[in-house]
A and B are shown apart, each in its own frame.
Chain A
């Protein structure tokens, strides 16, 4: 029998449901692996051993093993509230903050039997594509410890890749689940906006944020989505639509489906090795009987500038709540206003400050129309691009990231270069559509390459159907990093 930690979530759940493995044994196996490997990878910023073992023991004793995630050890990104566990968002300003309540996704996961092992590292407030801006130090890519794991959910992706959790949750505002999934060779989904409740997610850009799972294969991803998706009265933007049995979509044949290939995504700046892997991936889809069709998303080049207006504007408003009054660190100053200014000046890192300044600027008097109002209109054009493209195909296939993982420090002081690493993922958030990232190959040096499938709103089943078939036809997802 392979090591417990090497199993996919669904394979581990088979054993847990049959009673061959107890929740405590599963938690112990993962906690031991975290202790051995996390110092090298720095994927977790908090290990909640006591909480996890108490939970596992209670499940051992319960006798009822029917919960869909009975005893499954999972990890949450440090911006998702788990009552009593540190939700620092990777920021000094939230050092010591332990939320008094659970996010809806946490409630649903625990009700289904999941065991939360701890909190995953992330770029500060999810601002970044490399997981380097965390106050807890960078997470390393398990495939090459000198390289970035992607971001901002880099801790979640690295942990799943290095078998430090059976699955993990992240948040995706412009690619923060999909890009690290690609960098670490795991599966990750950005659900349709409104598909998963955002209650208890510490907000970055409220019109773009979605929570989603990062997993070892597509089936695990579908399974976790069945548990966390659905209407939540505490999030008025959550959709009042039934949640399909996503796993059933994996068994549906893909022969005869039509998938669009957007020409704007295969352009200059695409790494030649990523390009080659993508061409092979397209051949795999063709071999499965999928019809490939050229489509156009003409406003693609405007997505990154639109995003950096909309996202920073919303972030500057959302981050106004961090003022040293109700939680987190507080700087000492004689007056209230100076307390705000110093608390924020000392508590936020460079990228958070840059985004607060940019967001405040584009919303400020005299610039609002030129920047923010303009960006909202271009957002409409980007959304229409997808609507038109989906008139002729059921899904769209693209690379997830233009390059394989880059070196730690390489883009840290060049914000524009960093922003461009999300060029293939950002439009999806602006349009509100769902997208699945999955492993699609490796470079000659053994670095992961990812593929992205995009579907119309609430067509997650199409993503699982195509993603599942692609995964069956390849073995990229089964490879393990050389830790």
Chain B
């Protein structure tokens, strides 16, 4: 199916990603081509095939429940674009309205 420009904009909103109009147009063409290629998978019958999400099967991997030092707050905040005291600072989350 053709990934039209409006659809690209919608997916970009889901991904919290601003795109320019030029990017939307360019990606629409390129992603269409990629999706057409990906559609070759539809040739395969997979009704009875189980999915593989991990190459090496493993489940319930636990490590020992032992206390260990965590990353100090100062180190964790060292790369923060903005901070206040021991917190990451961000712009307001809720609208005034």
Query: Interface residues, chain A, CB within 8 Å of chain B?
Result: 96-98, 100-101, 192-194, 207-208, 233-234, 236-237, 239, 299, 301-302, 304-306, 308-309, 316, 320, 323-330, 333-342, 344-346, 348, 350, 353-354, 356-358, 360-361, 364, 371, 373-381, 383, 415-416, 419, 429-433, 457
Contact = CB atoms under 8 A, between A and B. Distances in A.
Contacts of A357: 8, 11-12, 15, 17, 27, 31
**6 A-B pairs closest in CB distance:** A432-B55, A345-B18, A376-B51, A327-B79, A330-B81, A100-B75
Contact of B54 (A237, A304, A306, A361): A237
Contacts of B90: 325, 336, 339
28 contacts: A97-B79, A193-B54, A237-B56, A237-B58, A304-B37, A306-B41, A308-B38, A320-B16, A325-B80, A326-B80, A329-B81, A334-B92, A335-B93, A336-B92, A338-B91, A346-B18, A348-B17, A353-B17, A353-B27, A354-B30, A374-B46, A377-B50, A415-B30, A419-B34, A431-B55, A432-B54, A432-B55, A432-B56
Contacts of B18: 341-342, 344-346
Contact of A344 (B16, B42, B51, B53): B16
Contacts of B92: 334-336
Nearest to B58: A237
Contacts of A371: 38
Given A326-B88, A333-B91, A357-B15, A379 B51 contact: yes
Interface in B45-68: 46, 49-56, 58, 61, 63-64
B interface majority secondary structure? loop
B55 to A, nearest CB: 2
B91 A334 contact: yes
Size category, B interface: 35 or more
B78 A100 contact: yes
B17 A377 contact: no
Nearest to A330: B81
A207 B91 contact: no
A305 B41 contact: yes
B6 interface: no
A380 B50 contact: yes
Contacts of B63: 233-234, 236
Interface string B71-84: 10001101111100
B34 A416 contact: yes
A377 B50 CA distance: 6
A301 B20 CA distance: 34
B34 A308 contact: yes
A383 B49 CA distance: 12
A377 B79 contact: no
Nearest to B71: A100
Contacts of B17: 341, 344-345, 348, 353, 356-357
Nearest to B31: A358
Nearest to A375: B41
Nearest to A310: B53
A207 B79 contact: no
A214 to B, nearest CB: 22
B16 to A, nearest CB: 4
Contacts of B79: 96-98, 100, 326-328
Nearest to B62: A236
Which among A192, A327, A346 has the greatest number of chain B C-beta atoms within 10 A? A327
B19 interface: yes
A46 to B, nearest CB: 15
A364 B11 contact: yes
